[in-house]
Amino acid sequence: MELIDGKAIAEAVKQEIAAEVAGIVARGGKRPHLAAILVGHDGGSETYVAAKVKACEVCGFKSTLIRYENDVTEEELLDRVRQLNEDEDIDGFIVQLPLPRHISEQKVIETIDHRKDVDGFHPINVGRMSIGLPCYVSATPNGILELIKRYHIETTGKKCVVLGRSNIVGKPMAMLMMQKAYPGDATVTVCHSRSRDLAKECREADILIAALGQPHFVKADMVKEGAVVIDVGTTRVPSDKTKSGFKLTGDVLFEEVAPKCSYITPVPGGVGPMTIVSLMKNTLLAGKKEIYP
Ligand code: GUN
């Protein structure tokens, strides 16, 4: 069994990005600028956004954090998004999800100019991704592809099972694993809460990608000997053993599953750090106007 070290790969990619940014700035080019909107004080969102701001620093990007309280109106937020669309100094921006219930996430996503949508959530980017056109690919699936590439994991002709059908992870992941490319060319099955005999589907997987958000859902008897297991779960489970009072917990029962795998990602330190790095890569692409010149 080989552990996939997302943390180490993420650090390496950030150094690659920083070197490229230093070159751009040395040649008189513009330093990429990412803005993030954070509404409210959700613990998970606070942590993720802080990590994104920190990663910008490491990569040599400029970053701007815009905060609102939970009672911000939808119109106020949409107006700020429109301002960012027009702001020539901002290359890309994100609105951290989830948003309070009185705000339509879909409306917000569709108000973002797709050319600055470095999260890859806008329907134009999702549509372009699904037909293999240049676009911003959403960060978690893109981070997983990067891990597969860097570990030279074979995907062609493999049976890949994706657990979960979210717009952010499950659906794009399935699309990317079936694309005519490497990583890709896999035979993909998507399982979800209504799937019949989900355990049997999982047992057939050469590559199992768990993105359900249900701690320790995947047990050893659901995994084939020699499978590649990618754990996207990051549920904050209360714990008296950590300073923060919670423990990030994956969708895979690691201790039990790991011995059966050829490769497996840990939680934390697997997919999580790669998600942030993918956002940095998209921001660099936005700064260079590579996708939408
Ligand atoms: N919430 C959970 N993951 C993400 C992400 O990748 N981007 C944004 N904007 N919000 C999220």
pLDDT digits (tens, 9 = 90+) for 102-144: 999 999 999 999 999 999 999 999 999 999 999 999 999 999 9
Residue ranges of alpha helices (H) inside 5-73 are 6-26, 43-59
Strand partners, 207: 160, 228
The verdict on pTM exceeding 0.75 is yes
Q: Which of the 8 DSSP states describes residue 246?
A: E
The confidence score (pLDDT) of residue 244 equals 87
Confidence of residue 153 (pLDDT cuts 50, 70, 90): very high
State percent of the chain over pLDDT 90.
Answer: 98
The residue to which tokens 């911000």 are assigned: 72
Kindly report the protein residue whose alpha carbon is nearest to atom 9 of ligand 1. 96
Structure tokens at 241: 């053993």
Distance 18 CA to ligand 1 centre (A): 23
247-283 confidence digits (pLDDT tens):
999 999 999 999 999 999 999 999 999 999 999 999 9
- All residues at 6 or more sequence positions from 83 whose CB lies less than 8 Å from its CB, including other chains: none
Integer Cα distance of 135 and 244 in angstroms: 37
Mean pLDDT of the chain: 97
200 touches 145 (CB < 8 A) = no
Which of 5, 91, 117, 119 is flagged as catalytic? 119
- Which of the four pLDDT bands, split at 50, 70 and 90, describes residue 60? very high
